[in-house]
Amino acid sequence: MPSMNAVLFISFLLFSVGVAGVLIRRNVLIILMCVELMLNAANLNLVAFARHSGTVNGQAFALLVMGLAAAEVSIGLALVVALYRKKDTIQVDQINLLKG
């Protein structure tokens, strides 16, 4: 079994790479994938703490998070397709109708 520190550290690295990807990339698809990556890092933490406490709660929650992530990505990809039909682009810096 790996130590708790190792699990937390790997999960932290995955999460920070996901945050960096969301902040720096222009492509909506890559941003969605980075969101998935962050959810996976959280799942890794949940599983590690479930293992640590000897109960199954963390694993059940990780399963629920996985289903929620699937719902989120399907909605996100439908939005991407609708956006591409409307604006002919999926670069987030060109979707500036609100002039934010």
DSSP classification of residue 57: H
CB 92 within 8 A of CB 26: yes
Please, which of residues 15-54 interact with other proteins by CB under 8 A? Answer: 16-21, 23-27, 29-30, 32-34, 36-37, 40, 43-44, 47-48, 50-54
Residue type, 70: A
Q: Is there binding between residue 12 and other proteins (CB under 8 A)?
A: yes
Give the separation between CA 65 and CA 49, rounded to whole angstroms: 15
Least distance between other proteins and beta carbon 32 (Å): 8
Residues numbered 52-71 forming contacts with other proteins, rule: CB under 8 A: 52-57, 59-64, 66-71
